[in-house]
Amino acid sequence: MSEIILKKWYDAIREAQSVESIEDIRISVFGKKGVLAEEFAKMKTASDEEKSKIAQELNIHKNELMNELNSRKIVLQTVELQEAMKAEAIDVSLFSSQSQAGALHPVIETMDRIVEYFSSMNFAIKTGNMVEDDFNNFEALNLPKYHPARDMQDTFYFKDEMLLRTHTSPVQIRTMMGTKPPIRMIAPGAVFRRDYDITHTPMFHQVEGLLVDEEGKVSFANLKYILEDFLKYMFGDVKVRFRPSFFPFTEPSAEVDISCVFCSGDGCRVCSKTGWLEVLGCGIVDPNVFEAVKYKNVSGYAFGLGVERFAMLIHQIGDLRSLFEGDIKLLEQFR
Ligand code: DAH
């Protein structure tokens, strides 16, 4: 390998000003069709004796060039990194003329709207406790020890019969234990279950409702009226239907469906071709619940709903978990 060629490449390496140009040099020297490959190819015509001499020499040059190239590359990488850090540095004390307005999280926004409706109907807002005891979360709600809702699969338990509330229904109990009837309350808040898939997260939000008055004063018709009105307030012009169902704390109980907001009731993937979406559970308060809180001569209705489900239907969000990932791109759409 001639001195001139060697000098040319050493100079090129020393003078290279970017990692990119170093990479170009690497390809020109060490690549398949590079200078060294060319030099090695020339060996073919040499005698055996010469061959080993040329090979030895070329290998020495190869190693030296490689060392030179690598050390220049490290220098340039360091310089480029420092420049990038300087260029991208953020001075958080600077005033920005482009500050963007934030937005409420879709779950909070939906919860606010639900609360707004019931506040306007004179329902008081109660919060209760997220860490609950067995009595408030289960026993007093007519969910006896053997009830499947107490399954270890569903409930996060602490020691001494304490747990993370699995629904907002215990706020009914706490409110009735602390106040005399009549009662008109809703309880918005977080609840917890051991569940995780596209329609379940271990923490989600519910709004519970309870109305209690003198015996004979509260009917299923009252419940039906307010829930229909509420669902139209939330979803606009939808059809509402009540289906008989079962909850331990209400008798009779119903599940409430609205006509599918995606296909207007024609049947689609979201409503499993039924044209209906289940949105609520409700019923007339079971006498056993009143007995547990020592209420006498009263009647009442109760209901409970999942806030995330409402938010998903209102905003047409497919995966419940995406609501809790804090992805700015998703959240920005709600500004
Ligand atoms: N607590 C129920 C749940 O978590 C929801 C519910 C259904 C609440 C019916 C009620 C009710 O007050 O009457 O699934």
242-299 pLDDT, tens digit each: 999 999 999 999 999 999 999 998 999 888 999 999 999 999 999 999 999 999 999 9
Whether residue 100 lies inside any domain: the answer is no
Q: What domain range includes position 261?
A: 106-334
CB of 257 within 6 A of ligand 1: the answer is no
CB of 137 within 6 A of ligand 1: the answer is no
Whether residue 93 lies inside any domain: the answer is no
Residues 43 and 113 in one domain: no
Per-residue tokens: 60:
């020495």
Q: What CATH number did the domain enclosing 181 receive?
A: 3.30.930.10
CB of 303 within 6 A of ligand 1: the answer is yes
How is residue 105 annotated by DSSP? -
Question: Coil, helix or strand for 109?
Answer: helix
Q: How far apart are CA 101 and CA 200, in angstroms?
A: 30
Q: How far is the CA of 261 from the centre of ligand 1 (A)?
A: 23
Q: How far apart are CA 335 and CA 327, in angstroms?
A: 13
Residue 199 banded pLDDT, cuts 50, 70, 90? confident
Pick the residue whose CA is nearest to atom 6 on ligand 1.
Answer: 304
CB of 167 within 6 A of ligand 1: the answer is yes
Q: How far is the CA of 208 from the centre of ligand 1 (A)?
A: 7
Residues 327 and 254 in one domain: yes
Q: How far apart are CA 310 and CA 209, in angstroms?
A: 16
pLDDT of residue 149: 65
pLDDT digits (tens, 9 = 90+) for 112-135: 999 999 999 999 999 999 999 999
pLDDT digits (tens, 9 = 90+) for 58-115: 999 999 999 999 999 999 999 999 999 999 888 888 887 777 778 889 999 999 999 9
Whether residue 280 lies inside any domain: the answer is yes
pLDDT of residue 102: 80
Q: How far apart are CA 107 and CA 304, in angstroms?
A: 16
Tally of domains within the chain:
2
Whether residue 110 lies inside any domain: the answer is yes
pTM of the full predicted structure? Answer: 0.71
Radius of gyration of the chain (CA): 36
CB of 281 within 6 A of ligand 1: the answer is yes
Whether residue 239 lies inside any domain: the answer is yes
Q: Which of 55, 88, 121 is the last residue of a domain?
A: 88
Q: How far apart are CA 128 and CA 11, in angstroms?
A: 76
Q: How far apart are CA 210 and CA 121, in angstroms?
A: 12
